[in-house]
Amino acid sequence: MREHANKKEFLDFHRKALGKVRHIPTVNIRNERQLAMAYMPGSLTACEEIRLDGQNVFEYTGRANRLAEVSNGKRVFEMGDVGPDAVLPILEGKALTLKLFGDVDAVPMAIHAETAEEIVNFCMAIAPTVGGINIEGIGSPDAFYVEKALSDVLDIPVFCDDRQGTAVAVLAAIKNSLKLLGISIAEARIVVVGAGAAGLASADLLLRSGARDLVILDEGGILGPSRTNMNVFQSEIAARANPKGIEGGLEDALPGADILVGLSRGNTITKDHIRRMNRKPVVLALSLPEPEISREDAVQAGAFIYASGNIENSNALLNIHVFPGIVRGVLDVRARRISDSMLIVASDALAAIIDRRNLTPDHIYPKFLGSETSPRIAEAIAQAAINEGIARIQMPEGKVFENTWYRLFGAMEHI
């Protein structure tokens, strides 16, 4: 990443933009009659209908397409605790991508909150305003606690795109990598470096998708029964992973590994680490802003496939590929929650965007600006929610894809 060279350009961009999203009217007021319709007494009529049936709020307001983007800024990439003021540019950037690539009205909400309970209380208080809630940049294990606590009591979907978005992206990339390796996920040996929100969620979804030989590490080494300093979520994953009972650090975990998933910190993987892996190693170095190992070093050490979080490179693996489609899909069918099977279906849809004939080591993951990414994911998510019985709105197959396409591209010819 050319951070120093681009710093002035980045700052000039943000200073000129003065916020990357803003509210615009959906209707206009040019006379007294229109004012009466939009405000008083027109609003009172809608209020009465909603009072009689709470679900009418989705028919008479913008709640159905509104998402709260909530963060306390406690865990922002490698910067760590930046606080609520400094996390706002990231929330605005995420809101912009959700609007442009999912036509979702996301509202950035940077909050002063020191504990998971405070975040839960805030989200509970604002829930009647939105159709879904995304928590971001609050760190682990708070992300797990908040997501579970809210999902247990709210009847709208609660996301943590650091978790679900990243996990879907990782699973899709691994599925396409396995096609090139010629092995199944059950046969693959996978090492996940990083046991925070993204690492644990990715490991969990991989295990639920059939992975058997999976090892996960944090800075203290391999998660396992001999570790006494794991949180409850790490302990749960550790009980399902590492079937060979390997102990130690990264050097002990990597021999014979087919796939390395980096979700930790920049510059923590060396060439020697890659050389310990199996023939044709797959290296997903996804730490931001710097990857665990550079493409050049990984390839020199023998990497067969390399992916990073750098949007300008081939195999750019970011959860913003995934998240707009997920949110679009659940909002369109008004799903009550997000399930693991919905995420797995989303990963299938994402992986399938690349035709098998076009799959190469430098092309295991769709380009971010591909026109079908959000519509395909939205369709897959929506149909999975309908099939599971957690969608309030029934949509025929293909309808969410069609609606999403026209939301994003209007009457453009489908190509």
347-371 pLDDT tens trace: 999 999 998 899 999 999 988 777 7
Describe the chain by its helix, strand, coil percentages, rounded to 5: 50, 10, 40
3-state secondary structure of 214: strand
Instruction: Determine the pLDDT at residue 23.
Output: 83
Instruction: Determine the pLDDT at residue 252.
Output: 95
Q: Which residue has the higher pLDDT, 24 or 31?
A: 31
* Beta strand spans in 166-287 (E): 189-193, 213-218, 221-222, 259-262, 282-285
Q: What is the mean pLDDT of the chain?
A: 92
Q: Are 167 and 151 in contact (CB under 8 A)?
A: no
3-state secondary structure of 52: helix
- b/e sequence 87-125, b meaning 16+ C-beta within 10 Å: bbbbbbbbbbbbbebbbbbbbbbbbebeebeebbebbee
**Do the domains 165-308 and 3-30+62-160 match in fold?**
yes
How many other CB atoms sit within 10 Å of the CB of residue 53?
Answer: 9
Instruction: Determine the pLDDT at residue 415.
Output: 44
d(CA 354, CA 159): 26
Enumerate the active-site residues: 39, 94
Tokens of 113: 């909150």
Tokens of 7: 């710093």
User: For residue 374, how many C-alpha atoms fall within 13 Å in the half-sphere facing its CB?
Assistant: 26
| pLDDT band at residue 411 using 50, 70 and 90 as cut-offs | low
Q: Taking the model in full, what pTM does it have? A: 0.91
pLDDT in tens, 296-310: 999 999 999 999 998
- pLDDT above 80 (res 149): yes
For residue 41, say if its preceding peptide bond is cis, omega within 30 degrees of 0.
yes
| pLDDT band at residue 412 using 50, 70 and 90 as cut-offs | low
Q: Which residue, among 382, 362, 380, has the nearest Cα to 372 in the 3D structure?
A: 380
d(CA 350, CA 379): 11
For the chain, percent of residues with pLDDT exceeding 70: 98
Instruction: Determine the pLDDT at residue 177.
Output: 98
Q: Which residue has the higher pLDDT, 262 or 6?
A: 262
d(CA 48, CA 240): 51
What's the chain's length in residues?
415
Report the CATH fold assignment for 165-308. Answer: Rossmann fold (3.40.50)
| pLDDT band at residue 5 using 50, 70 and 90 as cut-offs | low
d(CA 252, CA 233): 23
Burial (CB count within 10 angstroms: exposed 0-12, middle 13-18, buried 19+), residue 375: buried
User: Of 3.20.20.70, 3.30.70.1290, 3.40.50.10380, 1.10.238.10, which CATH number belongs to 3-30+62-160?
Assistant: 3.40.50.10380
Q: Which residue has the higher pLDDT, 139 or 326?
A: 326
pLDDT in tens, 73-123: 998 877 888 999 999 999 999 999 999 999 999 999 999 999 999 999 999
pLDDT in tens, 29-49: 999 999 999 999 999 999 999
Domain boundaries, the chain: 3-30+62-160, 165-308, 322-409
Q: How far is CA 231 from CA 43, 152, 166, 227, 246, in A?
A: 49, 20, 21, 10, 19
Q: Are 378 and 386 in contact (CB under 8 A)?
A: no
Mean pLDDT along residues 284-307:
96
